[in-house]
């Protein structure tokens, strides 16, 4: 075996910088780089393979292999040693390539002559861009030092691709950030939007990758780490001792900020010629690559923490704050990994659309987006790394798709879709003042669901007959502190003012399950949706319930008041809650406050048990409202938050419709007013069926009122009911097919 060569990574980076400063065209530059690396590494071969598409790699430049193979030799992800490096994101370093598992010989390259092989992934922040390979004839294993040197060069290379340095003929990664990309996520709020990217947290752009003076870079790193540590300590001192989750995150931050391994690796990178920010980014890149492979949620969270911390460090080092000086486009589409409800409210209605990498349908951000009627796509993996501020983007909230930098065809199709929607909006506006009167002469009352002050202008705009469900917990969810009684009563008064005498049904706090209030100790429950939530919390901790009931009475200030209790599962829960209301009224009377002119107290029917409660219960309540979201999840035992099962069972399933019909019949028999306020009430076909089985009040998102009214005005409920009964008698599992056919004939 020959003497190991000495590779000076600082020298190699120095030469690389000269190449980068040169304004040679992309291909020439790639050629120069392969030549330079081969020389510095004392190998006969250096090649760069880049991704042509998601799973094809192409030889884009080489020193040492046959030049005719450039842009001809391609391999699939996982194929051969190069493909394996690309797939696993790890280095292969062998002195006998042909004997190494996965080796595949590419005859056109002439590589049979080379025994040693070192392949290093070229990746940027966990995103795979290609593979950098060195090969030599003598059977040598490259030293750790050499592997490291090539890794550092690969990182610089990744940045060059990122910066569009290879935009030249033939280069595979040409102008990646100019390509059109489609992100397939999940719908959290439907609707379509067209606009330009506005990054919630703009990516820190590292332009200074190579450090000229390692001593100075080391000092810069130390100063930044110190600033970071002080920041973390400050956050820890402000964190409330009761908040276990927040403390846990901050402790993890502290652990990383003081991690010797993290520091040592970055110091070594600086020693090898990287700038301080490039060293931080290299660590971040490794963490992201691991994140892509780790499935354990705890570990993923920790890697996320490290990612956040790296971003903080990069901001300190580059001086780029959240503020980049860029002006928000007039039609902003917000792109973020995730966003909190308060931050989203700060943007308010200025946003045209939102695309998140994370989030969930029931997340607070989704609730707010829904309230503001802003199309929202969640689970759009990697969009924050792909999108740049100002990029054109189309959001299709109906399909859960975002098109970044769309090409002309996508754009044209989208424009047609938006034009059709605009036409439909015009149609809805034209019937805004008209009743939801069916062809058979039945009027259905359409009310809206709300929860924020931001919702209230919709009361007028949508033509709703009132607020059928005011989710009071939203006010609790979006604050960092528990709201005071006086704040609440003022808010409730403003809601009633905005309703101008139209009825408003206030639902008392429905917290627990997915609705976690930041200032309440989280309960660790195995099944929160079936756990300690809503009225169960209210009855066990009556202090909060009493406060809220008082605030409601005071907010009404002598006007009629309607209140309903969520998640009532049996009669005694309603009775106990009602008794609390009676006590609250009595207290207010003694205090001399005006009492509501009329008081109606209802319950939400969200558990199948209540459908079978004794008649007495049906007579006691002033009204019932079916919370279809919860009722359906318990009826089918299918978690409404679980993407895998959430859409598995159709609302128009015959069993569910029959169950709902039984409830309607019981209410008719007992004279109990009944409404339906789950999401299905806002879906036109479902709404028509609910009306056909006898529901006369439907409460929905304001944006749904137009479409639902429009379909009801063209429906004969008797005919539709016959259609449902026929399908059911035939043994159809769902009546959807038959109903759609009937409705198509009416449109």
- Choose among Mg ion, ligand PEP, none what residue 150 binds, the Cβ cut-off being 5 to 8 Å by kind: none
Spell out where 339-482 has E strands: 353-356, 376-378, 392-396, 401-404, 436-437, 443-450, 467-471
Which tokens in the block code for residue 478? 């979006």
**Closer residue to Mg ion, CB minimum distance, 277 or 606:** 606
Binding mask 496-515 for ligand PEP (x = CB under 6 A): --------------x-----
Angle, alpha carbons 505-506-512 (nearest 5°): 135
Residue 71 appears among annotated catalytic residues: no
The SS3 of residue 46 is strand
Instruction: Catalytic residue, from 46, 304, 364, 403: name it.
Output: 364
Instruction: Find the binder of ligand PEP among 140, 370, 471, 709 (CB under 6 A).
Output: 471
Asked if 474 is part of the footprint of ligand PEP (rule: CB under 6 A), the reply reads no
Q: At what angle do helices 9-21 and 144-162 cross, to 10 degrees?
A: 20
Alpha carbon separation from 424 to 13, 96, 417, 674, 708 (Å, rounded): 60, 67, 11, 30, 12
Instruction: Find the binder of ligand PEP among 677, 698, 700, 708 (CB under 6 A).
Output: 677
Q: How far apart are CA 281 and CA 311, in angstroms?
A: 8
Asked if 680 is part of the footprint of Mg ion (rule: CB under 5 A), the reply reads no
Task: State the minimum distance, in angstroms, from the CB of residue 12 to ligand PEP.
Answer: 60
Residues 370/341, Cβ–Cβ less than 8 Å: no
Which range binds ligand PEP by CB under 6 A, 152-160, 403-411, 627-635, 653-661? 627-635
Asked if 629 is part of the footprint of ligand PEP (rule: CB under 6 A), the reply reads yes
**Closer residue to ligand PEP, CB minimum distance, 75 or 564:** 564
Task: State the minimum distance, in angstroms, from the CB of residue 700 to ligand PEP.
Answer: 10
Task: State the minimum distance, in angstroms, from the CB of residue 677 to ligand PEP.
Answer: 5
Residue 403 appears among annotated catalytic residues: no
Residues 678/628, Cβ–Cβ less than 8 Å: yes
Which range binds ligand PEP by CB under 6 A, 71-79, 268-276, 524-532, 625-633? 625-633
Instruction: Find the binder of ligand PEP among 59, 606, 649, 682 (CB under 6 A).
Output: 606
Instruction: Find the binder of ligand PEP among 341, 628, 682, 684 (CB under 6 A).
Output: 628
Residue 543 burial by CB count (10 A; 0-12/13-18/19+): exposed, middle or buried?
A: exposed
Asked if 627 is part of the footprint of Mg ion (rule: CB under 5 A), the reply reads yes
Instruction: Find the binder of ligand PEP among 630, 656, 686, 711 (CB under 6 A).
Output: 630
With b for 16 or more beta-carbon neighbours within 10 A and e for fewer, the 504-532 pattern comes to bbbbbbbbbbbbebbebeeeeeeebbeee
Task: State the minimum distance, in angstroms, from the CB of residue 592 to Mg ion.
Answer: 36
Asked if 627 is part of the footprint of ligand PEP (rule: CB under 6 A), the reply reads yes
With b for 16 or more beta-carbon neighbours within 10 A and e for fewer, the 171-209 pattern comes to bbbbebbeeebebebbbbbbbbbbbbbbbbebbbebeeb
Partnered with residue 155 across adjacent β-strands are: none
- Choose among Mg ion, ligand PEP, none what residue 709 binds, the Cβ cut-off being 5 to 8 Å by kind: none
Q: How far apart are CA 703 and CA 373, in angstroms?
A: 7
Task: State the minimum distance, in angstroms, from the CB of residue 481 to ligand PEP.
Answer: 22
Q: How far apart are CA 495 and CA 501, in angstroms?
A: 10
Task: State the minimum distance, in angstroms, from the CB of residue 676 to ligand PEP.
Answer: 8
Asked if 630 is part of the footprint of Mg ion (rule: CB under 5 A), the reply reads yes
**Closer residue to ligand PEP, CB minimum distance, 136 or 699:** 699
- Choose among ligand PEP, Mg ion, none what residue 146 binds, the Cβ cut-off being 5 to 8 Å by kind: none
Q: Count CB atoms within 10 A of the CB of residue 101.
A: 8
**Closer residue to Mg ion, CB minimum distance, 500 or 647:** 647
Which range binds ligand PEP by CB under 6 A, 236-244, 254-262, 302-310, 621-629? 621-629
**Closer residue to ligand PEP, CB minimum distance, 397 or 682:** 682
Q: How far apart are CA 247 and CA 687, in angstroms?
A: 46
Contact partners, residue 551, CB within 8 Å, separation at least 6: 485, 486, 488, 489, 492
**Closer residue to Mg ion, CB minimum distance, 305 or 606:** 606
DSSP assigned state of 505: E
- Choose among Mg ion, ligand PEP, none what residue 703 binds, the Cβ cut-off being 5 to 8 Å by kind: none
**Closer residue to ligand PEP, CB minimum distance, 411 or 634:** 634
Binding mask 605-624 for Mg ion (x = CB under 5 A): -x------------------
| Residues engaged in binding ligand PEP (CB under 6 A) | 469, 471, 510, 606, 627-630, 677-678
The catalytic residues are 364, 677
């Amino acid at each position: 075996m020959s003497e190991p060569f000495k590779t000076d990574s600082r020298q190699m980076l120095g030469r690389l910088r000269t190449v980068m400063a040169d304004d040679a065209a992309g291909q020439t530059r790639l050629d120069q780089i392969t030549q330079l690396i081969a020389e510095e590494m004392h190998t006969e071969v250096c090649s760069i393979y880049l991704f042509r598409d998601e799973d094809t790699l192409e030889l884009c430049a080489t020193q040492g292999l046959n030049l005719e193979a450039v842009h001809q030799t391609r391999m699939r992800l996982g194929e051969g040693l190069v493909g394996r490096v690309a797939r696993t994101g790890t280095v292969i370093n062998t002195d006998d390539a042909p004997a190494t598992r996965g080796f595949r010989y590419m005859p056109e390259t002439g590589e049979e002559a080379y025994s040693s092989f070192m392949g290093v992934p070229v990746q940027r922040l966990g995103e795979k861009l290609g593979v950098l390979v060195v090969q030599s004839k003598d059977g040598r294993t490259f030293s750790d030092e050499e592997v490291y040197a090539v890794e550092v060069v690969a990182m610089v290379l990744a940045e060059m691709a990122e910066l569009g340095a290879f935009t030249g003929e033939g280069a595979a990664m040409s102008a990646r950030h100019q390509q059109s990309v489609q992100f397939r996520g999940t719908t959290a709020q439907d609707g379509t939007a067209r606009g330009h990217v506005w990054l919630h947290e703009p990516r820190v752009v590292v332009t200074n990758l190579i450090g000229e003076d390692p001593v100075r870079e080391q000092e810069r790193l130390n100063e930044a780490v110190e600033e970071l540590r002080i920041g973390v300590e400050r956050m820890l001192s402000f964190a409330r001792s009761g908040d276990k989750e927040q403390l846990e995150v901050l402790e993890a931050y502290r652990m990383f900020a003081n991690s010797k391994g993290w520091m040592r690796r970055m110091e070594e990178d600086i020693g090898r010629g990287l700038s301080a920010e490039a060293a931080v980014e290299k660590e971040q890149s490794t963490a992201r690559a691991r994140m892509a492979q780790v499935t354990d949620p705890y570990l993923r969270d920790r890697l996320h923490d490290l990612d956040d911390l790296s971003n903080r460090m990069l901001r300190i080092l580059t001086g780029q704050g959240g503020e980049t000086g860029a002006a928000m486009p007039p039609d902003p589409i917000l792109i973020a990994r995730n966003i909190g409800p308060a931050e989203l409210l700060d943007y308010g209605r200025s946003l045209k659309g939102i695309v998140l990498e994370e989030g969930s349908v029931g997340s607070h951000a989704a609730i707010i987006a829904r309230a503001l009627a802003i199309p929202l796509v969640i689970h759009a993996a990697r969009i924050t790394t792909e999108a740049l501020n100002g990029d054109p983007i189309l959001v299709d909230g109906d399909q859960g798709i975002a098109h970044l930098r769309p090409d002309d065809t996508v754009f044209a199709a989208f424009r047609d879709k938006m034009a059709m929607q605009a036409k439909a909006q015009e149609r809805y506006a034209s019937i805004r003042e008209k009743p939801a009167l069916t062809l058979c002469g039945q009027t259905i009352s359409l009310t809206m669901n709300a929860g924020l002050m931001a919702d209230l202008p919709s009361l007028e705009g949508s033509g709703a007959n009132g607020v059928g469900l005011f989710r009071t917990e939203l006010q609790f969810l979006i604050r960092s502190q528990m709201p005071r009684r006086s704040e609440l009563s003022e808010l409730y008064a403003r809601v009633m003012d905005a309703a101008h005498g139209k009825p408003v049904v206030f639902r008392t706090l429905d917290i627990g399950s997915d609705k976690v209030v930041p200032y309440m100790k989280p309960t660790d429950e195995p099944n929160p949706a079936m756990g300690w939530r809503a009225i169960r919390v209210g009855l066990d901790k009556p202090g909060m319930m009493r406060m809220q009931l008082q605030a409601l009475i005071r907010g009404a200030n002598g006007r009629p008041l309607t209140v309903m209790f969520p998640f009532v599962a049996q009669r005694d829960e309603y009775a106990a809650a009602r008794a609390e209301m009676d006590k609250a009224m009595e207290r207010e009377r003694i205090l001399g406050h005006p009492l509501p002119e009329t008081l109606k107290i209802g319950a939400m029917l969200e558990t199948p048990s209540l459908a079978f409660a004794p008649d007495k219960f049906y007579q006691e309540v002033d009204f019932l409202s079916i919370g279809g979201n919860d009722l359906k999840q318990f009826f089918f035992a299918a978690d409404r938050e679980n993407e895998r099962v959430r859409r598995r069972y159709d609302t128009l399933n015959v069993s569910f419709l029959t169950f709902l019909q039984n409830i309607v019949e019981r209410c008719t028999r007992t004279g109990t007013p009944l409404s339906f306020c789950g999401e299905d009430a806002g879906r036109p076909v479902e709404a028509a069926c609910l009306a056909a089985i006898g529901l006369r009040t439907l409460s929905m998102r304001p944006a749904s009122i137009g479409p639902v009214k429009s379909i009801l005005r063209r429906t004969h409920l008797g005919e539709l009911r016959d259609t449902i009964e026929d399908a059911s008698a035939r043994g159809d599992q769902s009546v959807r097919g038959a109903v759609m056919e009937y409705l198509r004939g009416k449109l």
